[in-house]
Amino acid sequence: TLIRLKLRAGSSHDLNDVAILANLHPDWMEHVLALAVSHGREMGERVAALIRDPRVRRQAKDVQRQDRALQAFARRSAKRTPGGDSGA
């Protein structure tokens, strides 16, 4: 999976991405932490710290906000486009 690949790569950017994904999908949190620990206790601690980091949480909220805005734009565009899903 993407998370396993990111953990294997282990760069700061990769671990930040994993922490953002965990914040975007709280139901994955336990699995993400277990995978991180499987790469060593230090990796598990680094990922856990990143998940709790307020900057990472803010990034995840920004991603959610951007995703909602993009979905709303797509719905509005589909309603204005001939042949789009206008409910008719």
- The pLDDT score that the predictor gives to residue 87 is 52
Distance between CA atoms of residues 48 and 80, nearest Å: 45
Determine the 3-state secondary structure of 81 from DSSP.
coil
CA atoms of 68 and 7, how far apart (whole Å): 28
Helix axes 41-52, 54-80, angle to 10 degrees: 60
What is the pLDDT at residue 88? 47
pLDDT in tens, 8-45: 999 999 999 999 999 999 999 999 999 999 999 999 99
- Give 61's pLDDT tier (boundaries 50, 70, 90): very high
